[in-house]
Structure 1
Amino acid sequence: MEEALSAPPAAEMSMDAGPPPAGYDADFLGVDVPLPSPTAPRSTALLGYPRFSVMQDLDRRLAVVTGVNIDGATLLDIARSGSWRLERRIERDQQAGPDVYERNDLDRGHLVRRRDPGWGERDEARAATVATFVYTNAAPQVAGFNQSKDLWLGLEDHVLEYAEIQDLRLSVFTAPVLAAADPPYRGIHIPLRFWKVAAWVDPDAGVTATGFVLDQSELVAPVVAARAVPPLGAFRTFQVALAEIEELAAVDLGPLVAADILSAPGARDTPDWIPLRTPADIRLG
Protein backbone atom coordinates (compact mmCIF):
# COMPACT_ATOMS: atom_id res chain seq x y z
CA MET A 1 0.00 0.00 0.00
CA GLU A 2 1.84 3.00 -1.28
CA GLU A 3 1.78 6.75 -1.87
CA ALA A 4 2.71 8.66 -5.01
CA LEU A 5 4.37 10.19 -7.58
CA SER A 6 5.49 11.62 -10.85
CA ALA A 7 3.15 11.88 -13.82
CA PRO A 8 3.68 9.29 -16.59
CA PRO A 9 3.66 9.99 -20.32
CA ALA A 10 0.13 10.32 -21.67
CA ALA A 11 0.61 7.20 -23.78
CA GLU A 12 0.76 5.08 -20.62
CA MET A 13 -2.63 6.25 -19.45
CA SER A 14 -4.66 4.30 -21.99
CA MET A 15 -7.22 2.68 -19.70
CA ASP A 16 -10.07 4.67 -21.29
CA ALA A 17 -9.32 3.64 -24.88
CA GLY A 18 -10.34 0.31 -26.41
CA PRO A 19 -11.68 -2.73 -24.54
CA PRO A 20 -10.94 -2.92 -20.81
CA PRO A 21 -8.13 -5.25 -19.67
CA ALA A 22 -9.12 -8.78 -18.75
CA GLY A 23 -8.20 -8.25 -15.12
CA TYR A 24 -7.69 -11.00 -12.54
CA ASP A 25 -7.31 -14.49 -14.04
CA ALA A 26 -8.98 -17.21 -11.95
CA ASP A 27 -6.97 -19.95 -13.75
CA PHE A 28 -3.59 -18.27 -13.25
CA LEU A 29 -2.40 -20.90 -10.74
CA GLY A 30 -3.39 -23.77 -13.00
CA VAL A 31 -6.47 -24.48 -10.89
CA ASP A 32 -9.67 -22.50 -10.46
CA VAL A 33 -9.31 -19.84 -7.76
CA PRO A 34 -12.21 -17.44 -8.31
CA LEU A 35 -12.17 -13.84 -7.22
CA PRO A 36 -13.76 -13.61 -3.74
CA SER A 37 -17.26 -12.21 -3.66
CA PRO A 38 -19.33 -10.39 -1.03
CA THR A 39 -21.66 -12.53 1.04
CA ALA A 40 -23.93 -9.59 1.91
CA PRO A 41 -26.00 -7.65 -0.67
CA ARG A 42 -23.95 -4.78 -2.09
CA SER A 43 -24.14 -2.52 -5.12
CA THR A 44 -20.86 -3.28 -6.89
CA ALA A 45 -18.99 -2.78 -10.15
CA LEU A 46 -16.29 -5.24 -11.28
CA LEU A 47 -13.46 -3.34 -12.96
CA GLY A 48 -10.65 -5.00 -14.89
CA TYR A 49 -7.11 -3.63 -15.06
CA PRO A 50 -3.88 -5.18 -16.38
CA ARG A 51 -3.46 -8.38 -14.33
CA PHE A 52 -5.74 -7.27 -11.52
CA SER A 53 -9.40 -6.56 -10.79
CA VAL A 54 -11.24 -4.31 -8.37
CA MET A 55 -14.79 -4.98 -7.15
CA GLN A 56 -15.96 -1.52 -6.13
CA ASP A 57 -18.68 -1.00 -3.55
CA LEU A 58 -20.54 1.89 -5.16
CA ASP A 59 -22.22 2.98 -1.94
CA ARG A 60 -19.16 2.81 0.31
CA ARG A 61 -17.04 4.25 -2.55
CA LEU A 62 -14.22 1.80 -1.77
CA ALA A 63 -13.18 -1.64 -2.98
CA VAL A 64 -14.79 -4.62 -1.28
CA VAL A 65 -12.40 -7.03 -3.06
CA THR A 66 -9.26 -6.74 -5.20
CA GLY A 67 -7.39 -9.60 -6.84
CA VAL A 68 -4.00 -9.64 -8.59
CA ASN A 69 -1.93 -12.31 -10.33
CA ILE A 70 1.83 -12.27 -9.63
CA ASP A 71 4.40 -14.22 -11.67
CA GLY A 72 7.51 -14.43 -9.52
CA ALA A 73 9.60 -15.82 -12.39
CA THR A 74 9.21 -12.68 -14.52
CA LEU A 75 8.68 -9.98 -11.87
CA LEU A 76 10.59 -6.83 -12.90
CA ASP A 77 12.04 -3.90 -11.01
CA ILE A 78 10.03 -1.11 -12.63
CA ALA A 79 10.88 2.51 -11.85
CA ARG A 80 8.15 4.19 -9.83
CA SER A 81 5.81 6.30 -11.96
CA GLY A 82 2.12 7.03 -11.95
CA SER A 83 -0.38 9.72 -11.11
CA TRP A 84 -3.51 9.13 -9.05
CA ARG A 85 -6.64 9.45 -11.19
CA LEU A 86 -10.35 8.84 -10.97
CA GLU A 87 -11.90 5.79 -12.66
CA ARG A 88 -13.99 7.01 -15.61
CA ARG A 89 -16.07 3.84 -15.91
CA ILE A 90 -18.02 4.69 -12.76
CA GLU A 91 -19.36 7.97 -11.40
CA ARG A 92 -17.18 10.32 -9.38
CA ASP A 93 -19.47 10.00 -6.36
CA GLN A 94 -19.01 6.19 -6.45
CA GLN A 95 -15.32 6.40 -5.58
CA ALA A 96 -13.31 8.08 -2.83
CA GLY A 97 -11.39 10.73 -4.75
CA PRO A 98 -8.71 13.31 -3.94
CA ASP A 99 -10.92 15.39 -1.64
CA VAL A 100 -10.83 12.59 0.96
CA TYR A 101 -7.03 12.91 1.29
CA GLU A 102 -6.57 16.70 1.31
CA ARG A 103 -5.22 18.58 4.35
CA ASN A 104 -5.22 15.68 6.78
CA ASP A 105 -3.10 12.76 7.98
CA LEU A 106 -4.56 10.24 5.54
CA ASP A 107 -2.60 8.66 2.69
CA ARG A 108 -3.83 6.96 -0.46
CA GLY A 109 -2.98 3.35 0.35
CA HIS A 110 -2.54 1.01 -2.61
CA LEU A 111 -4.62 -2.17 -2.25
CA VAL A 112 -3.01 -4.00 -5.18
CA ARG A 113 0.64 -3.08 -4.67
CA ARG A 114 2.28 -1.06 -7.42
CA ARG A 115 4.89 -3.73 -8.15
CA ASP A 116 2.65 -6.82 -8.07
CA PRO A 117 1.34 -6.73 -11.69
CA GLY A 118 4.75 -5.56 -12.97
CA TRP A 119 5.94 -8.76 -14.60
CA GLY A 120 6.49 -10.15 -18.11
CA GLU A 121 7.40 -7.89 -21.02
CA ARG A 122 8.76 -4.57 -19.75
CA ASP A 123 6.28 -2.32 -21.58
CA GLU A 124 3.32 -4.38 -20.36
CA ALA A 125 4.76 -4.55 -16.86
CA ARG A 126 5.24 -0.78 -16.71
CA ALA A 127 1.70 -0.11 -17.95
CA ALA A 128 0.34 -2.51 -15.31
CA THR A 129 2.18 -0.75 -12.47
CA VAL A 130 0.94 2.66 -13.68
CA ALA A 131 -2.62 1.31 -13.76
CA THR A 132 -2.52 0.71 -10.00
CA PHE A 133 -2.69 4.48 -9.41
CA VAL A 134 -6.46 4.65 -9.70
CA TYR A 135 -8.68 5.74 -6.81
CA THR A 136 -10.67 2.49 -6.92
CA ASN A 137 -7.41 0.78 -5.92
CA ALA A 138 -6.85 3.14 -2.98
CA ALA A 139 -8.15 3.23 0.58
CA PRO A 140 -7.47 5.80 3.30
CA GLN A 141 -4.76 4.85 5.74
CA VAL A 142 -3.27 6.90 8.53
CA ALA A 143 -0.03 8.46 7.31
CA GLY A 144 2.12 6.90 10.00
CA PHE A 145 1.04 3.45 8.87
CA ASN A 146 1.71 4.07 5.21
CA GLN A 147 5.20 5.34 5.99
CA SER A 148 6.02 2.32 8.17
CA LYS A 149 4.63 -0.38 5.96
CA ASP A 150 7.47 -2.88 5.72
CA LEU A 151 5.66 -5.82 7.31
CA TRP A 152 2.24 -5.36 5.66
CA LEU A 153 3.64 -4.63 2.19
CA GLY A 154 6.21 -7.38 2.44
CA LEU A 155 3.77 -10.23 3.05
CA GLU A 156 3.59 -11.29 -0.61
CA ASP A 157 7.39 -11.12 -0.87
CA HIS A 158 7.73 -13.31 2.22
CA VAL A 159 5.46 -15.97 0.69
CA LEU A 160 7.52 -15.88 -2.53
CA GLU A 161 10.74 -16.28 -0.57
CA TYR A 162 9.30 -19.10 1.51
CA ALA A 163 8.61 -21.17 -1.58
CA GLU A 164 12.31 -20.91 -2.53
CA ILE A 165 11.53 -21.26 -6.23
CA GLN A 166 11.84 -18.48 -8.78
CA ASP A 167 8.79 -19.45 -10.81
CA LEU A 168 6.22 -19.34 -8.02
CA ARG A 169 2.89 -17.81 -9.00
CA LEU A 170 0.66 -16.09 -6.48
CA SER A 171 -2.89 -14.85 -6.51
CA VAL A 172 -3.35 -12.17 -3.85
CA PHE A 173 -6.61 -10.62 -2.63
CA THR A 174 -6.69 -7.43 -0.56
CA ALA A 175 -9.40 -5.01 0.58
CA PRO A 176 -10.59 -2.92 3.48
CA VAL A 177 -13.09 -4.44 5.87
CA LEU A 178 -16.20 -2.41 5.07
CA ALA A 179 -17.88 -2.50 8.46
CA ALA A 180 -20.98 -0.66 9.62
CA ALA A 181 -19.04 0.79 12.58
CA ASP A 182 -16.41 2.53 10.41
CA PRO A 183 -16.38 6.26 11.31
CA PRO A 184 -17.81 8.78 8.80
CA TYR A 185 -15.49 11.32 7.23
CA ARG A 186 -15.92 13.58 4.18
CA GLY A 187 -18.68 11.51 2.62
CA ILE A 188 -17.11 8.11 3.20
CA HIS A 189 -16.52 5.81 6.15
CA ILE A 190 -12.84 5.20 6.96
CA PRO A 191 -12.04 1.47 7.25
CA LEU A 192 -10.54 0.41 10.55
CA ARG A 193 -9.17 -2.89 9.25
CA PHE A 194 -7.76 -4.39 6.05
CA TRP A 195 -7.49 -8.02 4.99
CA LYS A 196 -5.15 -9.85 2.63
CA VAL A 197 -5.10 -13.45 1.37
CA ALA A 198 -2.27 -15.05 -0.63
CA ALA A 199 -2.77 -18.30 -2.57
CA TRP A 200 -0.28 -20.47 -4.42
CA VAL A 201 0.19 -24.10 -5.50
CA ASP A 202 2.46 -26.26 -3.38
CA PRO A 203 3.96 -29.16 -5.40
CA ASP A 204 3.02 -31.61 -2.64
CA ALA A 205 -0.06 -30.09 -1.00
CA GLY A 206 -1.78 -28.44 -3.98
CA VAL A 207 -3.55 -25.12 -3.53
CA THR A 208 -2.33 -23.44 -0.35
CA ALA A 209 -3.43 -20.15 1.18
CA THR A 210 -2.95 -17.93 4.18
CA GLY A 211 -4.48 -14.66 5.33
CA PHE A 212 -3.68 -11.50 7.26
CA VAL A 213 -5.50 -8.60 8.90
CA LEU A 214 -4.13 -5.13 9.59
CA ASP A 215 -5.83 -3.05 12.28
CA GLN A 216 -5.53 0.77 12.30
CA SER A 217 -8.47 1.31 14.65
CA GLU A 218 -6.53 3.15 17.35
CA LEU A 219 -5.20 5.72 14.88
CA VAL A 220 -8.33 6.58 12.90
CA ALA A 221 -10.25 8.44 15.61
CA PRO A 222 -7.62 11.18 16.04
CA VAL A 223 -7.56 11.77 12.28
CA VAL A 224 -11.33 12.10 12.11
CA ALA A 225 -11.16 14.51 15.05
CA ALA A 226 -8.35 16.48 13.30
CA ARG A 227 -5.88 15.90 16.12
CA ALA A 228 -2.27 14.74 15.93
CA VAL A 229 -1.51 11.14 15.02
CA PRO A 230 -0.48 9.13 18.12
CA PRO A 231 2.65 6.93 18.23
CA LEU A 232 3.03 4.23 15.60
CA GLY A 233 2.66 1.36 18.04
CA ALA A 234 -1.10 1.31 17.45
CA PHE A 235 -0.69 -0.42 14.06
CA ARG A 236 -1.14 -4.15 14.42
CA THR A 237 -0.83 -6.95 11.86
CA PHE A 238 -2.10 -10.49 12.39
CA GLN A 239 -2.03 -13.78 10.53
CA VAL A 240 -5.66 -14.87 10.64
CA ALA A 241 -7.57 -18.04 9.78
CA LEU A 242 -9.41 -17.63 6.49
CA ALA A 243 -12.72 -18.66 8.03
CA GLU A 244 -12.29 -15.70 10.39
CA ILE A 245 -11.54 -13.36 7.48
CA GLU A 246 -14.66 -14.57 5.66
CA GLU A 247 -16.79 -13.64 8.66
CA LEU A 248 -14.99 -10.38 9.42
CA ALA A 249 -15.05 -9.03 5.86
CA ALA A 250 -18.31 -10.69 4.74
CA VAL A 251 -16.64 -12.23 1.68
CA ASP A 252 -16.73 -15.72 0.20
CA LEU A 253 -13.18 -17.05 -0.23
CA GLY A 254 -14.39 -20.19 -1.98
CA PRO A 255 -11.92 -23.11 -2.06
CA LEU A 256 -9.23 -21.18 -0.22
CA VAL A 257 -10.76 -21.75 3.23
CA ALA A 258 -10.12 -25.47 2.95
CA ALA A 259 -6.57 -24.73 1.71
CA ASP A 260 -5.74 -22.51 4.71
CA ILE A 261 -2.37 -23.27 6.33
CA LEU A 262 -3.85 -22.49 9.74
CA SER A 263 -6.55 -25.14 9.27
CA ALA A 264 -4.16 -27.94 8.23
CA PRO A 265 -4.15 -31.09 10.43
CA GLY A 266 -0.78 -30.18 11.92
CA ALA A 267 -2.02 -26.74 12.91
CA ARG A 268 -5.02 -27.73 15.03
CA ASP A 269 -3.68 -25.91 18.10
CA THR A 270 -2.77 -22.75 16.19
CA PRO A 271 -4.70 -19.65 17.34
CA ASP A 272 -7.05 -18.04 14.82
CA TRP A 273 -5.30 -14.64 15.24
CA ILE A 274 -1.48 -14.63 15.43
CA PRO A 275 0.09 -11.21 16.15
CA LEU A 276 2.98 -10.44 13.79
CA ARG A 277 5.94 -8.23 14.59
CA THR A 278 8.40 -9.49 11.96
CA PRO A 279 8.12 -11.85 8.95
CA ALA A 280 9.67 -14.54 11.14
CA ASP A 281 6.39 -14.70 13.08
CA ILE A 282 4.43 -15.80 9.97
CA ARG A 283 3.49 -19.50 9.91
CA LEU A 284 3.77 -20.97 6.41
CA GLY A 285 4.32 -24.63 7.14
Structure 2
Amino acid sequence: MNENQKLLINELVQGQEITKDNSDEMIVEILNDSWYEASVGYDPKFLGDDYEVPHPTFRSDEQDIALLKDGSKVLHYTHFSIVMSKSRRLAYYTVVNIDGNQLRSIQRNDKWYLDPRIEIEYQCGPELYKNNPLDRGHLVRRSDPIWGDAAEKANKDTFHFTNCAPQHSDLNQKIWLDLENYILDNAENWNLKVTVFTGPVFREDDIVYRGVKIPSEFWKIAIMVKEDGNLSATAYLQTQKDLIENLEFTYGEYKTYQVPISSIETITGLNFGCLRNHDPINPLESHVIEVPEDIKF
Protein backbone atom coordinates (compact mmCIF):
# COMPACT_ATOMS: atom_id res chain seq x y z
CA MET A 1 0.00 0.00 0.00
CA ASN A 2 1.46 3.37 -1.00
CA GLU A 3 1.71 6.44 1.23
CA ASN A 4 -1.35 8.12 -0.28
CA GLN A 5 -3.42 5.01 0.34
CA LYS A 6 -2.23 4.85 3.94
CA LEU A 7 -3.04 8.54 4.35
CA LEU A 8 -6.58 7.98 3.10
CA ILE A 9 -7.18 5.20 5.60
CA ASN A 10 -5.73 7.34 8.40
CA GLU A 11 -8.06 10.18 7.42
CA LEU A 12 -11.10 7.94 7.22
CA VAL A 13 -10.48 6.37 10.61
CA GLN A 14 -11.03 9.82 12.10
CA GLY A 15 -14.66 9.33 11.23
CA GLN A 16 -17.43 11.85 10.79
CA GLU A 17 -16.18 15.29 11.73
CA ILE A 18 -18.17 17.09 14.40
CA THR A 19 -18.09 20.84 15.01
CA LYS A 20 -18.54 21.75 18.68
CA ASP A 21 -17.71 25.46 18.78
CA ASN A 22 -20.27 27.88 20.23
CA SER A 23 -22.51 29.37 17.57
CA ASP A 24 -22.04 32.82 19.13
CA GLU A 25 -18.44 32.65 17.90
CA MET A 26 -19.26 31.08 14.55
CA ILE A 27 -18.40 33.07 11.44
CA VAL A 28 -21.23 32.72 8.91
CA GLU A 29 -20.92 34.00 5.35
CA ILE A 30 -22.58 33.68 1.94
CA LEU A 31 -20.30 33.08 -1.02
CA ASN A 32 -20.81 34.73 -4.40
CA ASP A 33 -22.61 32.77 -7.09
CA SER A 34 -19.35 32.68 -9.06
CA TRP A 35 -17.88 30.33 -6.43
CA TYR A 36 -20.17 27.54 -7.65
CA GLU A 37 -19.90 28.05 -11.40
CA ALA A 38 -17.25 25.38 -11.95
CA SER A 39 -18.68 22.91 -9.41
CA VAL A 40 -19.72 19.73 -11.22
CA GLY A 41 -20.35 17.70 -8.08
CA TYR A 42 -20.64 13.95 -7.83
CA ASP A 43 -19.53 11.88 -10.84
CA PRO A 44 -21.76 8.79 -11.32
CA LYS A 45 -19.03 7.10 -13.44
CA PHE A 46 -16.29 7.73 -10.88
CA LEU A 47 -15.75 4.01 -10.24
CA GLY A 48 -15.45 3.34 -13.98
CA ASP A 49 -17.59 3.43 -17.11
CA ASP A 50 -18.84 -0.08 -16.40
CA TYR A 51 -19.83 0.78 -12.82
CA GLU A 52 -22.11 3.79 -13.16
CA VAL A 53 -23.88 4.67 -9.88
CA PRO A 54 -26.64 7.21 -10.58
CA HIS A 55 -28.42 9.42 -8.08
CA PRO A 56 -31.32 7.65 -6.36
CA THR A 57 -34.84 8.42 -7.48
CA PHE A 58 -37.66 9.42 -5.15
CA ARG A 59 -40.50 6.98 -4.58
CA SER A 60 -42.41 9.73 -2.79
CA ASP A 61 -41.88 13.25 -1.45
CA GLU A 62 -40.22 14.49 -4.65
CA GLN A 63 -42.36 17.62 -4.34
CA ASP A 64 -40.54 18.37 -1.07
CA ILE A 65 -37.14 18.78 -2.75
CA ALA A 66 -35.80 22.31 -2.25
CA LEU A 67 -35.29 23.52 -5.79
CA LEU A 68 -32.37 25.71 -6.72
CA LYS A 69 -33.24 29.17 -7.95
CA ASP A 70 -32.57 27.96 -11.51
CA GLY A 71 -35.18 25.22 -11.08
CA SER A 72 -32.76 22.29 -10.76
CA LYS A 73 -32.80 19.79 -7.88
CA VAL A 74 -29.17 19.00 -7.04
CA LEU A 75 -26.61 21.21 -5.29
CA HIS A 76 -23.23 20.46 -6.84
CA TYR A 77 -20.06 21.10 -4.86
CA THR A 78 -16.48 19.89 -5.34
CA HIS A 79 -16.51 16.08 -5.66
CA PHE A 80 -19.89 15.81 -3.91
CA SER A 81 -23.55 16.70 -4.36
CA ILE A 82 -26.57 17.27 -2.08
CA VAL A 83 -30.36 17.16 -2.43
CA MET A 84 -32.25 19.20 0.19
CA SER A 85 -35.67 18.88 1.84
CA LYS A 86 -37.83 22.00 2.01
CA SER A 87 -39.90 20.89 4.98
CA ARG A 88 -36.99 19.55 7.07
CA ARG A 89 -34.39 22.13 5.95
CA LEU A 90 -31.79 19.34 5.92
CA ALA A 91 -30.29 17.11 3.25
CA TYR A 92 -32.30 14.19 1.94
CA TYR A 93 -28.95 12.71 1.00
CA THR A 94 -25.37 13.54 0.12
CA VAL A 95 -23.10 11.62 -2.25
CA VAL A 96 -19.33 11.92 -2.53
CA ASN A 97 -16.48 10.56 -4.66
CA ILE A 98 -13.37 9.59 -2.64
CA ASP A 99 -10.05 9.09 -4.47
CA GLY A 100 -7.27 7.90 -2.17
CA ASN A 101 -4.63 8.17 -4.87
CA GLN A 102 -4.97 11.95 -4.91
CA LEU A 103 -5.71 12.64 -1.25
CA ARG A 104 -4.42 15.86 0.31
CA SER A 105 -4.25 17.10 3.88
CA ILE A 106 -5.61 20.62 4.34
CA GLN A 107 -6.28 22.67 7.45
CA ARG A 108 -9.94 22.90 8.41
CA ASN A 109 -11.99 26.00 7.72
CA ASP A 110 -13.32 28.20 10.55
CA LYS A 111 -16.25 29.64 8.60
CA TRP A 112 -19.66 28.22 7.77
CA TYR A 113 -21.64 29.14 4.68
CA LEU A 114 -25.27 29.46 3.68
CA ASP A 115 -25.78 28.46 0.05
CA PRO A 116 -27.22 31.30 -2.09
CA ARG A 117 -28.43 28.89 -4.77
CA ILE A 118 -31.45 27.88 -2.68
CA GLU A 119 -33.65 29.98 -0.42
CA ILE A 120 -32.18 30.59 3.05
CA GLU A 121 -35.50 29.49 4.59
CA TYR A 122 -34.72 25.94 3.44
CA GLN A 123 -31.42 25.77 5.35
CA CYS A 124 -30.86 25.23 9.09
CA GLY A 125 -28.39 27.92 10.12
CA PRO A 126 -26.53 28.82 13.33
CA GLU A 127 -29.73 29.53 15.26
CA LEU A 128 -30.36 25.78 15.64
CA TYR A 129 -27.05 25.06 17.40
CA LYS A 130 -26.84 27.89 19.93
CA ASN A 131 -26.45 27.02 23.64
CA ASN A 132 -27.47 23.36 23.51
CA PRO A 133 -25.90 19.90 23.17
CA LEU A 134 -26.44 19.79 19.40
CA ASP A 135 -23.35 19.66 17.19
CA ARG A 136 -22.99 20.27 13.48
CA GLY A 137 -22.14 16.86 12.04
CA HIS A 138 -20.72 16.82 8.53
CA LEU A 139 -22.72 14.46 6.32
CA VAL A 140 -19.95 14.45 3.71
CA ARG A 141 -16.95 14.16 6.00
CA ARG A 142 -14.46 16.97 5.54
CA SER A 143 -11.62 14.61 4.57
CA ASP A 144 -13.58 12.66 1.93
CA PRO A 145 -13.65 15.09 -1.06
CA ILE A 146 -10.27 16.71 -0.34
CA TRP A 147 -8.26 15.30 -3.22
CA GLY A 148 -6.71 16.45 -6.47
CA ASP A 149 -6.15 19.99 -7.69
CA ALA A 150 -9.49 21.18 -6.29
CA ALA A 151 -8.79 20.00 -2.73
CA GLU A 152 -8.75 23.50 -1.22
CA LYS A 153 -12.14 24.30 -2.70
CA ALA A 154 -13.56 20.94 -1.61
CA ASN A 155 -12.46 21.62 1.95
CA LYS A 156 -14.33 24.92 1.98
CA ASP A 157 -17.40 23.39 0.34
CA THR A 158 -17.86 20.88 3.16
CA PHE A 159 -18.57 23.77 5.55
CA HIS A 160 -21.93 24.63 4.02
CA PHE A 161 -24.92 24.33 6.32
CA THR A 162 -26.50 22.17 3.62
CA ASN A 163 -23.85 19.57 4.45
CA CYS A 164 -24.49 19.33 8.17
CA ALA A 165 -27.15 17.79 10.37
CA PRO A 166 -27.82 18.22 14.10
CA GLN A 167 -26.29 15.44 16.15
CA HIS A 168 -26.21 15.09 19.91
CA SER A 169 -22.80 15.85 21.41
CA ASP A 170 -22.83 12.65 23.49
CA LEU A 171 -23.13 10.27 20.59
CA ASN A 172 -20.40 7.65 20.48
CA GLN A 173 -18.74 7.51 17.06
CA LYS A 174 -16.36 4.63 17.77
CA ILE A 175 -18.18 1.87 15.88
CA TRP A 176 -18.82 4.21 12.93
CA LEU A 177 -15.12 5.09 12.81
CA ASP A 178 -14.06 1.45 12.88
CA LEU A 179 -16.67 0.71 10.23
CA GLU A 180 -15.31 3.21 7.72
CA ASN A 181 -11.74 2.07 8.27
CA TYR A 182 -12.66 -1.58 7.92
CA ILE A 183 -14.57 -1.02 4.68
CA LEU A 184 -11.56 0.56 3.04
CA ASP A 185 -8.94 -1.72 4.55
CA ASN A 186 -10.67 -4.99 3.77
CA ALA A 187 -12.64 -4.46 0.55
CA GLU A 188 -9.73 -5.69 -1.62
CA ASN A 189 -9.96 -2.42 -3.48
CA TRP A 190 -6.40 -1.21 -3.71
CA ASN A 191 -7.30 1.62 -6.04
CA LEU A 192 -9.28 2.99 -3.08
CA LYS A 193 -11.95 4.70 -5.11
CA VAL A 194 -15.17 4.77 -3.13
CA THR A 195 -18.61 6.31 -3.57
CA VAL A 196 -20.55 7.04 -0.37
CA PHE A 197 -24.18 8.09 0.06
CA THR A 198 -25.17 9.48 3.49
CA GLY A 199 -28.31 10.99 4.93
CA PRO A 200 -30.73 11.28 7.84
CA VAL A 201 -33.91 9.28 8.30
CA PHE A 202 -36.93 11.60 8.39
CA ARG A 203 -39.74 10.30 10.61
CA GLU A 204 -43.02 11.96 11.50
CA ASP A 205 -42.40 11.41 15.23
CA ASP A 206 -38.94 13.04 15.27
CA ILE A 207 -38.55 15.43 18.19
CA VAL A 208 -39.22 19.08 17.32
CA TYR A 209 -36.60 21.48 18.69
CA ARG A 210 -36.53 25.18 17.86
CA GLY A 211 -38.94 24.55 15.03
CA VAL A 212 -36.81 21.80 13.47
CA LYS A 213 -37.52 18.07 13.54
CA ILE A 214 -34.27 16.49 14.76
CA PRO A 215 -33.39 13.18 13.03
CA SER A 216 -32.55 10.33 15.38
CA GLU A 217 -31.18 7.97 12.73
CA PHE A 218 -28.60 8.26 9.95
CA TRP A 219 -27.73 5.92 7.12
CA LYS A 220 -24.79 5.28 4.84
CA ILE A 221 -24.26 3.25 1.66
CA ALA A 222 -20.68 2.54 0.55
CA ILE A 223 -19.96 1.37 -3.01
CA MET A 224 -16.65 0.13 -4.38
CA VAL A 225 -15.23 -2.26 -6.97
CA LYS A 226 -13.67 -5.34 -5.41
CA GLU A 227 -10.46 -6.95 -6.64
CA ASP A 228 -12.46 -9.59 -8.51
CA GLY A 229 -14.15 -6.84 -10.55
CA ASN A 230 -17.53 -7.13 -8.86
CA LEU A 231 -19.33 -4.18 -7.34
CA SER A 232 -19.89 -4.16 -3.57
CA ALA A 233 -22.67 -2.03 -2.06
CA THR A 234 -23.19 -2.19 1.70
CA ALA A 235 -25.67 -0.25 3.82
CA TYR A 236 -25.53 0.88 7.44
CA LEU A 237 -27.97 2.48 9.87
CA GLN A 238 -27.07 4.46 12.97
CA THR A 239 -29.62 5.20 15.65
CA GLN A 240 -29.32 7.81 18.40
CA LYS A 241 -32.94 7.67 19.59
CA ASP A 242 -31.97 7.26 23.24
CA LEU A 243 -29.57 10.19 23.03
CA ILE A 244 -32.03 12.81 21.88
CA GLU A 245 -35.10 11.89 23.91
CA ASN A 246 -33.96 14.64 26.26
CA LEU A 247 -31.53 17.21 24.89
CA GLU A 248 -30.33 18.14 28.38
CA PHE A 249 -30.09 14.73 30.08
CA THR A 250 -29.09 11.86 27.83
CA TYR A 251 -28.60 8.15 28.20
CA GLY A 252 -28.52 5.03 26.11
CA GLU A 253 -26.20 3.31 23.69
CA TYR A 254 -25.53 4.51 20.18
CA LYS A 255 -25.74 1.54 17.82
CA THR A 256 -24.77 0.85 14.23
CA TYR A 257 -26.45 -1.85 12.15
CA GLN A 258 -25.57 -3.37 8.81
CA VAL A 259 -28.87 -3.57 6.99
CA PRO A 260 -30.08 -4.43 3.48
CA ILE A 261 -30.10 -1.56 0.99
CA SER A 262 -33.79 -2.32 0.54
CA SER A 263 -34.32 -1.36 4.20
CA ILE A 264 -32.73 2.04 3.60
CA GLU A 265 -34.99 2.46 0.58
CA THR A 266 -38.05 1.65 2.70
CA ILE A 267 -37.32 4.14 5.48
CA THR A 268 -36.11 6.97 3.21
CA GLY A 269 -38.38 6.68 0.17
CA LEU A 270 -35.28 6.66 -2.05
CA ASN A 271 -34.77 4.11 -4.83
CA PHE A 272 -31.16 3.03 -5.37
CA GLY A 273 -31.99 0.86 -8.37
CA CYS A 274 -29.61 -1.99 -9.15
CA LEU A 275 -27.37 -1.32 -6.12
CA ARG A 276 -29.53 -3.75 -4.15
CA ASN A 277 -28.30 -6.48 -6.53
CA HIS A 278 -24.76 -5.95 -5.24
CA ASP A 279 -25.69 -6.13 -1.54
CA PRO A 280 -24.10 -9.13 0.22
CA ILE A 281 -26.90 -9.55 2.78
CA ASN A 282 -30.40 -10.73 2.00
CA PRO A 283 -33.49 -8.49 2.25
CA LEU A 284 -34.57 -9.94 5.61
CA GLU A 285 -31.16 -9.85 7.28
CA SER A 286 -29.68 -7.22 9.61
CA HIS A 287 -27.34 -7.25 12.58
CA VAL A 288 -25.66 -4.97 15.08
CA ILE A 289 -22.03 -4.13 14.34
CA GLU A 290 -20.10 -4.43 17.59
CA VAL A 291 -16.67 -4.78 15.95
CA PRO A 292 -15.58 -4.20 12.32
CA GLU A 293 -15.33 -7.95 11.69
CA ASP A 294 -19.13 -8.10 12.02
CA ILE A 295 -19.40 -6.47 8.57
CA LYS A 296 -20.47 -8.80 5.79
CA PHE A 297 -19.24 -8.04 2.25
What TM-score bracket applies, with the shorter chain setting the length? 0.7 to 0.9
Measure the CA separation in 2 of the matches of 1:33 and 1:129: 24
Q: Say whether residues 1:234 and 2:236 are aligned partners.
A: no
Q: 1:38 aligns with which of 40, 55, 58?
A: 58
Measure the CA separation in 1 of the matches of 2:57 and 2:256: 23
Say if 2:111 and 2:159, in contact at 8 Å, map to a contact too: yes
TM-score normalised over the length of structure 2: 0.82
Q: Report the equivalent of 1:88.
A: 116
Q: Report the equivalent of 1:115.
A: 143
Matches within 5 A, 1:91-110: 91-110=119-138
Q: 1:178 to 1:20 in 2, by over 3 A?
A: farther
Q: Report the equivalent of 2:202.
A: 178
Q: Say whether residues 1:280 and 2:293 are aligned partners.
A: yes
Q: Say whether residues 1:136 and 2:151 are aligned partners.
A: no
Measure the CA separation in 1 of the matches of 2:59 and 2:178: 28
Q: 1:66 to 1:280 in 2, by over 3 A?
A: same
Q: 1:80 to 1:278 in 2, by over 3 A?
A: farther
Q: Report the equivalent of 2:273.
A: 254
Say if 1:47 and 1:54, in contact at 8 Å, map to a contact too: yes
Say if 2:33 and 2:116, in contact at 8 Å, map to a contact too: no
Cα drift, residue 278 of structure 1: 2.2
Q: SS where residue 261 of structure 1 aligns?
A: coil
Q: Which amino acid aligns with 1:174?
A: T
Q: Report the equivalent of 1:156.
A: 180
Q: Which amino acid aligns with 1:133?
A: F
Say if 1:39 and 1:252, in contact at 8 Å, map to a contact too: yes
Measure the CA separation in 2 of the matches of 1:164 and 1:55: 31
Cα drift, residue 37 of structure 1: 2.9
Q: Say whether residues 1:22 and 2:37 are aligned partners.
A: no
Measure the CA separation in 2 of the matches of 1:137 and 1:53: 9
Cα drift, residue 178 of structure 1: 1.2
Measure the CA separation in 2 of the matches of 1:125 and 1:153: 22
CA deviation digits over 1:28-56, x for unaligned, max 9? 11121012233212321310000000000
Say if 2:36 and 2:77, in contact at 8 Å, map to a contact too: no
Cα drift, residue 74 of structure 1: 1.9
Q: 1:137 to 1:18 in 2, by over 3 A?
A: closer
TM-score normalised over the length of structure 1: 0.86
Measure the CA separation in 1 of the matches of 2:236 and 2:170: 19
Gap regions ≥5 residues in structure 1? none
Matches within 5 A, 1:192-207: 192-207=216-231
Q: Which amino acid aligns with 2:152?
A: R
Q: Report the equivalent of 2:6.
A: none
Q: Which amino acid aligns with 2:231?
A: V
Say if 1:36 and 1:65, in contact at 8 Å, map to a contact too: no
Gap regions ≥5 residues in structure 2? 1-15, 68-73
Q: Say whether residues 1:3 and 2:33 are aligned partners.
A: no
Measure the CA separation in 2 of the matches of 1:180 and 1:163: 36
Cα drift, residue 15 of structure 1: 6.4
Cα drift, residue 242 of structure 1: 0.7
Q: SS where residue 136 of structure 2 aligns?
A: strand
Say if 1:244 and 1:272, in contact at 8 Å, map to a contact too: no
Q: Report the equivalent of 1:74.
A: 102
Q: SS where residue 243 of structure 1 aligns?
A: helix
Q: 1:7 to 1:94 in 2, by over 3 A?
A: closer
RMSD: 2.3
